[in-house]
Structure 1
């Protein structure tokens, strides 16, 4: 039973100045390495890999493999996004391992099925698998161990591990949908016909088909090594077996059998991209995000806008602070909803304009200090590139439609479920200087499994638009990547790693990461305080899931928010609701240059876990 004074204690903690805040979990300290991710067993996989002599990339790959195998709201058929700091070059590298729309996936195809967007689940929700390619590419290019060594923990998990309650109960809740797909039913429902058909918490969950697939990848590597191939060449032999060999054939065959579109040509033609990420500077700190095929530049845009305000002077989570940050986020998210998409496809996104400091200053001037603006729309970044906006007519039409559209009310459970849809995150660092931040996702439960591979297919097609009036840069085309919410983060100070951070939680990810970053930079919190601190969420942007709903003025606050702050925010026009957990689980590593050590933070929300040494 909660003591009578507990609510007042929580209130006190929220109002305490930075540095005095207590935490529910301790800071992790490490000198040699740090491994943090979404499951305790997966963090252990990272630790085991470090103990084998691997670097942070090896450990990160082992953690991705483990989380996929444990269905930590993702699987092997999903997508992987990563930022890697290379200490030998001093550069941050972007890894784009997002799958693409398959052959036949067109707006007309889905519209012929009376769909406003591609579906949220099933084979028609699937882009091509990206995570295996991303893992293998990172390992080949920047790791040190063999694939056999890195996949060993995941293979042991596939042989059978005691399933945790969170995943087991998610399977039970989703069992009606799981039964629609024959291969999923076989894997997920070992007690078919009984009252509880999913595994029980603690039951040994075995995945023989997935174990065989992972063995095929290791066999391809080992055979290549026996033929005299280099370590890198041998890992890419495993890559080829997945995307061009017998595994690819089974994925394509079984996906089509279940009503999907993926072909062997789609798999063979897809490639991981190693990219230069985007960056802005905030108070002397260089903040890196992946480019506009993710929502990552939203955080950069928002920081540019917030440079024009005295956030520290407003006070942590004061009504004026919450209002100002909320408005700045909404301005950036309005641009995301209209201008972000796959840069490999025309039209070209106006990212130079969107990320310019001058454009941010113009957008900042739109913020009314006294009222929320529920009708805020995309800006016009083209003049900041000395160009004319080719979509001015669409923007004008959208603006007029917004003025005439009544505001939705209420933040109900189905809306939140879509908006907050989870994934996992992986953070790793080592004494040599390698740093890795990853937000893998896709193929979450209930997942459609591709035949006898044990691989759960992605559900990322739902993030596409089918109408250019919604977003001309993100309209579905075969071979195109959808604009995703997945968004790892890295920050450097004086050219050296300062903070590595990522979170799960759909469209709230960059909202939560922005506040975590500001907690450290503006309010002096240590990394564990920053990831646990009370957060707030806006829903004044289109969800990237389901039918892409929006709730202008919707604001979730922490339960402990004082009544006078609630009152001020209502007076500014917000529709408030409350929760005791106001972000997805944030994982982060802070780099202590003074003492040459790591500080790890792992959220007190969910099953995320870290180990340092």
Structure 2
């Protein structure tokens, strides 16, 4: 197994050693990540999961993306004088989906009891863990906000003072108590494993957790990115009416591989559209890392991501023409748009003759922020705006087991920068609502009860019908660029999995980000400084504005899978960030 934190990976390994399956291990790791990477995810956030049961030929997706509140519509934000949903505070809060998503995986795919998979997270929250440098930076930067405005966050994150040292022991005893109370409630209901899991889910969405959330939201407005104090639209009723969904994952063949992704409520099908476009090229002949290769990859990404912007949204509310988008005829038409020069505009397609629509981006608030805190809150990503080169903003868990079970999950949201923590629970809510448009008629336009399109995009691959590979990375909108490079390194260029995580990473910033202020930079191709100088010069001649960043600074790909003959389990973790960890039991 592999994850973005060594303690989560260790917890998963213990579960596997104690007889649990891949799904049990993933759940245990997921809850540990909520404790040890609170700057990137939490119980109030969301999770996207793809899972394959051994002996079957399909893959299921679990949507742990909570929807918008019933009170959230375009008029509600218009009355507040807002042209976009802010990236922080209470207004962008959605139903917390992470807990429900993990419970659905444990109940339907796992074998262990809730107590067994929660034990590692409870231990680290109660007894402590070494604080990551990124978490320490986030706490010290946001401490004035936590002291003066978001006092629940102060209770939760300032337990070691306003300037904790990286590597120091950090605890979240309130979160430990929340987990323990959920477990106690579950065990008081029944001795049956599945009944306990359902009781815990009920306690979260209709019981004491929902009540605490509801009381907190009703207690008054809170400071947000607008520089004003606004109240929440989310209520306890929104939590009570939601359940995570399980359905067949979206897939496409690529040579002997069948690649599975979450559906168009996420950006996942972008990966499949990129594969479809790239299928028309002889990538090995180009050479890994060549100018031809980077140019072709980036230009195909621009086309796929432009379609994401025009066509992806919650399929329960909109007709996403996914079959056409992945079809051979449409792909051939789109591939013909890839030229020798860099494209500098978004070019969405017209599947089935339908006219694409990308709403104009809201005008960024260019008024002086007034304070460092407001400057931080205006950016909807969890990362702290500072002198940093790290490009990672969520978490990843990938697990396979000797039976042939595979799972990949990308948990995120509910991070400490997003929203004030609920002091009685020890975690904040997620703010995925910021990704929706306040313009009617688009697949990702705001509607009550609608899921915002998420960036969370794990991947599973079967090879000739057999379990092969599970992988993912942090990285927001860039996830399906960095993981695509990893996948092609392995299946097109024959690199071993570890080497496949270590080649020069790159991405395009041409497509508007899903997070406020929805920044984009036409023509910009970002690459690590290990990129060959000749390649950089050739790309610039083609019209790319190449921006070089430090080596090993883009993404944190984690992967687990099997050797091609199915004889051995294998796992790898990118060296980027220096705290992802892989292991095999």
TM over 0.5, shorter chain: yes
1:17 alignment partner in structure 2: none
CA offset at residue 239 of structure 1?
A: 0.6
1:64 aligned to which of 30, 40, 54: 30
Counterpart selection for 1:187 from 127, 136, 156 = 156
Describe how 1:173-572 pairs up with structure 2 within 5 A: 173-179=141-147, 180-190=149-159, 197-226=162-191, 230-257=192-219, 258=221, 259-345=231-317, 347-368=318-339, 370-383=340-353, 389=354, 391=355, 394=357, 420=391, 422-447=393-418, 448-468=420-440, 472-572=442-542
Taking the TM superposition and a 5 Å limit, the aligned residue runs for 1:115-154 are 115-154=82-121
Give 2:552's aligned residue.
Answer: 581
- The alignment status of 1:597 with 2:568, answered yes or no, reads yes
- Whole-angstrom distance in 2 between the partners of 1:316 and 1:88: 35
Q: How big is the alpha-carbon RMSD for the aligned residues of Structure 1 and Structure 2?
A: 2.1
**Contact persistence 2:155–2:423 (CA under 8 A):** no
Maintained 8 Å contact 2:469/2:560: yes
Alpha-carbon separation, structure 2, partners of 1:117 and 1:36: 37
3-state secondary structure, aligned to 2:144: helix
In the aligned structure 2, how far is the partner of 1:508 from the partner of 1:499? 20
Matched-pair contact (CA < 8 Å) for 2:87–2:431: yes
Q: Deviations over 1:9-46 (max 9, x none)?
A: xxxxxxxxxxxxxxxxxxxxxxxxxx211111111111
Partners in 1 of 2:334 and 2:202 — Cα distance?
Answer: 47
Aligned to 1:90: 57
* Bigger mean CA offset, 531-540 vs 100-109: 100-109
Contact 2:88 2:380 in 1 (8 A): no
Partner Cα distance (2:564, 2:254) in 1: 19
1:457 to 1:285, Cα distance in 2 relative to 1, 3 A: same
Which SS does the other structure have where 1:450 is aligned? coil
SS state at 2:14 partner: helix
Superposed CA deviations along residues 106-138 of structure 1, whole A, max 9, x for unmatched, are: 222223333332111122221111111111111
User: Which residue number corresponds to residue 366 of structure 2?
Assistant: none
Contact 1:99 1:127 in 2 (8 A): yes
Post-superposition Cα deviations, 1:76-98, rounded to whole Å, max 9, x if no partner, equal 10001101111143321100011
Whether contact under 8 Å (1:556, 1:582) holds in the other structure is no
User: Per the alignment, in what secondary structure is the counterpart of residue 51 of structure 2?
Assistant: strand
Counterparts of 2:82 and 2:576, CA distance in 1: 35
Q: Distance in 1 between the 2:526 and 2:553 partners?
A: 7
2:16 to 47, 50, 71: 50
For 1:22, the equivalent position in structure 2 comes to none
Instruction: Report if aligned partners of 1:527, 1:589 keep a CA contact under 8 Å in 2.
Output: no
Q: Tell me: CA distance 1:177–1:461, structure 2 relative to 1, closer, same or farther (3 Å).
A: farther
Secondary structure at the residue paired with 2:91? helix
8 Å CA contact retained: 2:392, 2:555: no
Secondary structure, in 3 states, of the residue corresponding to 1:605? Answer: coil
Q: Take 2:263 and 2:98, find their aligned partners in 1: how far apart are those partners?
A: 18
Q: Residue deviations 1:157-185, cap 9 Å, x none?
A: 11031323331222112223334211111
- Quote the residue 2:135 is aligned against: 167
CA shift at 1:421, angstroms?
Answer: 5.5
For 1:190 and 1:451, how far apart are their aligned partners in 2?
12
Q: Deviations over 1:441-462 (max 9, x none)?
A: 0012324212411122112111
Alignment CA distance shift 1:597-1:191 (3 Å): closer
> Aligned equivalents of 2:539 and 2:496: distance in 1?
28
When residues 528 and 351 of structure 1 are mapped into structure 2, their CA distance, relative to the original with a 3 A threshold, is same
**Residue-by-residue CA offset, 1:414-463 (whole Å, 9 max, x unaligned):** 89969956100001111111111000100123242124111221121111
SS at match of 1:123: coil
Which residue of structure 1 aligns with residue 4 of structure 2?
A: 38
TM-score (norm 2): 0.90
Partners of 2:153 and 2:416 within 8 A in 1: no
Task: Rate the CA distance shift 1:164–1:431 in 2: closer, same or farther, 3 A.
Answer: same
2:80, 2:497 → 1: CA distance? 48
CA contact (8 A) 1:527 1:590 kept: no
- Does residue 104 (structure 1) correspond to residue 98 (structure 2)? The answer is no
Task: Give 1:315 deviation, angstroms.
Answer: 0.8
Secondary structure in structure 1 of the residue aligned to 2:75: helix
Residues matched between the structures, number: 547
